[in-house]
Amino acid sequence: MKPAPFDYERPASIAEACRILSEAGGGATVLAGGQTLMPLLNLRMSQPFILVDIGRIAALQGVSRGGDGTRIGAMTRQADALADPLLAAHLPALVTALGHVGHHQTRNRGTVGGSVALGEPAAEMPAAAVALGAMLELTSVRGTRKVPADGFYIGPYMTALEPDELLTAVTYPDWPEGHLVLFREVARRPGDFALVGMVGAAVVEEGIVTRAGLAWFGMGPTPIRMRQLEAALVGAALAGLDAHALAALGVADSAPFDDHHASAEYRRTVGRRILARSLREAFALKETA
């Protein structure tokens, strides 16, 4: 099939892009990497009046360090982020998750901001943003506001992004050097969206967990933060941790459903097992009966 007719705009600046979105009155769609959007256009599941291609806006690209942490421009290609030394040093959990996004061909075109803004419930980038405490920078002709990733996702492909707003950057707070990375996903084939997945990080100081951030993907209508598990971990001594009990807390915060890929019960069972295994490996816990 071919897309429905649309006008095409290729702004050279953030201000110009925001002006076009504002004047479109909700009839515009932003083209970032296009790895999801282009098939939707061809299938006519998305029929915008105006396609706004932000690919040549230099201000939306690159990784930088600042007082708030590590900032990734929304149009930074996933392949570039995967190879970036700043991200490798400061956000290893994000880099680990990036390595499982699609295939290397799609990562060459796909962008960090595009994935975060889309909000695919089974994708790695939205869940990583939630788990690591990212702050999203949303810009329009009205100005710029910052929204925590934890409050950005409302439902399947539904976010707090207004029709006239553009996601311009994602800033991840610093995690101490040597923090632990937790990641695992189950998919039918490498590169497929996950049937079940989890991502997160934790800090251990003198045998005590002092910080934790974990989130599910593929376990509900949005990426889901494991609040009960985080609360149970922070302040706990490693010697007293029970991976199975902690995994049950993590699954309690999920909201899986049946679809043609897997059942809700399958997702709960597999989620509990991969989370328990990840906790054991990260915290070097002994297997319990």
H/E segment holding residue 274: helix 264-283
pLDDT on residue 1 = 66
Tokens 């509900």 correspond to: 220
pLDDT on residue 33 = 80
* Domains of the chain in sequence order: 7-53 (3.30.43.10), 58-172 (3.30.465.10), 180-283 (3.30.390.50)
Q: How confident is the model at residue 280 (pLDDT cuts 50, 70, 90)?
A: very high
Q: From 116, 118, 91, 278, select the one nearest 197 (Cα to Cα).
A: 278
pLDDT on residue 37 = 75
Residue 202 and residue 211 in contact, taking contact as beta carbons nearer than 8 Å: yes
Q: Within a 10 A sphere around the Cβ of 141, how many other Cβ atoms?
A: 13
pTM of the model: 0.94
The length of the chain in residues reads: 289
Q: Within a 10 A sphere around the Cβ of 68, how many other Cβ atoms?
A: 12
pLDDT of 160-200, one tens digit each? 999 999 999 999 999 999 999 999 999 998 888 899 999 99
Q: Within a 10 A sphere around the Cβ of 207, how many other Cβ atoms?
A: 10
Looking at this protein, which amino acid is placed at residue 215? A
pLDDT on residue 112 = 97
Looking at this protein, which amino acid is placed at residue 196? V
Per DSSP, the three-state class of 4 is coil
Residue 197 and residue 122 in contact, taking contact as beta carbons nearer than 8 Å: yes
H/E segment holding residue 107: helix 104-107
Assess whether pLDDT exceeds 90 at residue 285: no
pLDDT of 85-108, one tens digit each? 999 999 999 999 999 999 888 999
